[in-house]
Structures are given as C-alpha cells and as structure tokens.
Structure 1
C-alpha cells in the first residue's frame, strides 16, 4: 500500500498481519519528514483495519533498521507523533524486526514495540548525549530493562550488541541476518489466531502497569487535546459560536 508520494513507508497485509516497512535503504532508513508522515499514516491505517490483528515493524535492507534522524533535516523531530502508543494509541500488538544499526530515534521506535526480533549483527545505540539533542522518550527504557543498563545506554551513548540486548531483556529472539522479518511474521501469524479482544486488553493493561517518563506523560495530554481539536464536536462548537446558536454535539 502506498502511504507517501515517494513510498518511503510501505504497508502490506496478509493473514492478519500488517508489515510496515521504512523504505529508505539508500539513506540507511534515516527518518525525515516523509518517513514521519508515512509512519503516522501506517499506524492510523493499522488501527482502522479489523482484519490486521498484529503489525510487524521493519526496514528495507540489512545494513540498518534506521540510523535515526536524517542529518540533512534541520527541523526538530517530534517522535511523539509517529511512535506508536504515544500520541497515536495502538492497542494491537506490534513486533519489531531489526538488523544492522538501530540508532537514536530508531531505538525509540523499537522500544514502543511489544516484542523484538533482532538479527545477530544488530547494534543498538542512543548517541544523543554526544549530539546535544534528545526528546526524552527513551527515558522510559529504565522501566523496561535494568536501571543501570538503561543509564549506560542513555549517558554513555555507546553501542550494545544484539546479544547484550537479549541478555538484559530488550530483545526476544536473535536470528541469522536476513531472517528477522520472516521470524517476526511467523510469530505475528500465530498471534493473529488468538483472541484480538484479549490481546488488546492485555496490551492496555501492561501499558498502564509500565512507569511513564515525563515525555510520555506530556504526549498523553497532547493525545487527549488533539482528539478534541480533531473532532466534529469541536467544529460544531466553533460554527455555533459564529452562528450564535446552541451547539448540537454528537460525541464524535
């Protein structure tokens, strides 16, 4: 499925599984405005399709899942808007499938996945302390892996291997290079046969149980206000003021 003019994010659906792919291998899948818009559209489309019960998030090529923010882009990124379960709530399960470099904001994306399959050559790093910019969402890492390991990743900005990521609980399975997507899709197909209501209930429950960092708390407030501002009721309220009449709200 075409989501952006340049196909920088693709969406394929089969057997109850949506495969969402960042498709900029020539730029090591760096995240620019088109990728941001494509990912936003992909999560919204995933939410809208009852037949797609599990998503696999991956990227083209094996050199990098993503090297994070495209350095040619000068506008500050807002990962809250295209990272699932931040501004866009995604109750259905998401499985990440990564290989090669997974840097900066790409770690924010895979942190948001419920399960993660990594090729044996995967290298994770969050070098924001060396660059002078961070959005703060990866601070939630301390609620998902041991505190000291999270601080090492955040404050030293050095890479960790797929094996170490597995050892500390950030990765579920390590597979040979090139098999990460097939492994994730096989897992997703199995999950697609399970009760979608129960999976969604369990995911929401875990989401409430996990501690929230300040950036996530701010994003939750943004999600609520944007829901109001994008509603029919908001437009009806504005129109009723202009027409000097009592608004007819519909709750949507």
Structure 2
C-alpha cells in the first residue's frame, strides 16, 4: 500500500510533502493526519532541509477537508485542538512553507493551505470554507482577517460557496497561479527563490511578518529588532556584502 503521506527530501534543501489518498480526495483521515504530523516533524529536525512544499496527489483535490464519516462514527463535537497538524500552530516549525494547491481546497483543506506561509495554486483549483453547509464551525479561519478584507472573509464564511483560484489570487490568498500540470514546478521555483536568501535572514524575515501580524506597530518594531539580532551578528551578514563587493554569489553558511 502507498503511504498516506509521501515525503521527498530533495538535495537542494526542499522537502515535498504529498497528501496521497486521491481516492478520498486527500481528506484529513486519521492516516493522513498522522502522516502529516510525522512529515512536519521530519522536516523540522532535518537541518539540510530549509523549506517545505505541501501538495496533494491526483489532479482533482489538494484536500477536501475533514473526514465527515469519522465525525459521524465518533459523534465528534468540538474537535480537539491537537487533532489537526497545522504548521506554526499544533506543529512547531521554524522554517518557511508553501502550499501547492493542485485541486479543491475545501474546509480543512483550506485550513492547511492557509496555515502555510505562501501559496501557489492551479488555475483549476477552488477554495471554500464549507462548514456552514454541514453544521460545523471554522474557528481556524480567524487569521484570514490578516490576509483578506473583512467583507470578503465574511461572505466566504457565511455562504460556504467556493471561489476560483483567480478570485483567491485577486483577494491575496494565493501568491501565484500556475497551469494544472505546472503547479509543483511553480512552487519549487518559488521555494528556490526563497533559498537564494541567507538562511538566518529568511528566518528573521518570516518572524518579522508574523510579529507584524500579531502585534501593534510599536511592539512589532521592538520585537522584530530583537528577532533580527542573531541575523545581523552572523557570519552570513558579512559574507553577503563581501560577495556583492567581489561580484560573486554568496556562499551561505547559516551561521
């Protein structure tokens, strides 16, 4: 049997994590949830890996959401917070992530795509927060207010209707669009652009964005300055200007 979640560690520092149950539209079954927890942990612990891409197998679904059959069987009410493997929430990560949305991303599928730092989507992808259609709720969607305008978020949550990839790009949910057979390639290209930066600079940049999202202006400035000190004091902070002066590519050490 195929693994519910595939893990591919590339030599260029990119990890590709693939939800691999296309027959159930890669819904968040127990097997996929456990596979994701394991994959994120493996990614975080491997110092040779600097960025991860999360995608789905098949050409129809990135992830169709939670396993509704399981909810019926267990009589699930409020889902335990630790039930779903969410980057930077229930999963501790210090490195950037990209969602490569190859098909529908509904409910929990939207949730895990939203949790990633960046998003590349197929032009055929669709996104929806469908909880109102099945009597459930979507508290995980709260951070959307920092990504898209309030009234657009309100419509998405209140109607449960899907939006196209083009609309998701328009409102700022998606960074880049790609043809259906080029989604992973586009995500890898974006990852490689991130990898061109110094590792400590990328980490400080990510922390700056998150601090700015979660704090007021003055507090975020102070916290971001503190988060950047390690980067400024690193070897790479000298290597970058030196390489520029010598007209060569920098050789990053991550130190």
RMSD: 1.7
Report how far residue 184 of structure 1 moved. Answer: 0.3
Given the alignment of the two structures, is residue 148 of structure 1 paired with residue 145 of structure 2, yes or no? Answer: no
TM-superposition CA deviations, 1:36-86 (whole Å, max 9, x none): 111111111111011100100001011010110122213445465401010
Alignment of 1:1-252 (within 5 A): 7-14=3-10, 15-74=12-71, 75=74, 76=76, 77-78=79-80, 80=82, 81-211=84-214
Structure 1 unaligned residues grouped into runs of 5+ = 213-252
TM-score, normalised via structure 2 length = 0.77
Distance 1:132 1:157, change over 3 A: same
- The answer on whether the counterparts of 1:78 and 1:135 sit within 8 Å (CA) in structure 2 is no
TM-superposition CA deviations, 1:168-224 (whole Å, max 9, x none): 111111111121011101221232232111111221222222249xxxxxxxxxxxx
Distance 2:128 2:6 in 1: 25
Report how far residue 114 of structure 1 moved. Answer: 1.2
- The answer on whether the counterparts of 1:142 and 1:151 sit within 8 Å (CA) in structure 2 is no
Structure 2 unaligned residues grouped into runs of 5+ = 216-255
**Aligned length, in residue pairs:** 208
Report how far residue 135 of structure 1 moved. Answer: 4.5
Runs of 4+ in 1 over 4 A off after TM superposition: 77-81
Distance 1:51 1:207 in 2: 24
TM-superposition CA deviations, 1:142-184 (whole Å, max 9, x none): 1211111111111110010111110111111111112101110
Distance 2:160 2:81 in 1: 19
Q: In structure 2, the residue corresponding to 1:85 is in which secondary structure? A: coil
Distance 1:56 1:116, change over 3 A: same
- The answer on whether the counterparts of 1:67 and 1:106 sit within 8 Å (CA) in structure 2 is yes
Greater Cα offset, 67-76 or 34-43: 67-76
Q: In structure 2, the residue corresponding to 1:117 is in which secondary structure? A: strand
TM-score, normalised via structure 1 length = 0.78
Distance 1:166 1:79, change over 3 A: farther
Distance 1:155 1:73 in 2: 25
Structure with larger RCO (C-alpha < 8 A, sep 6+): 1
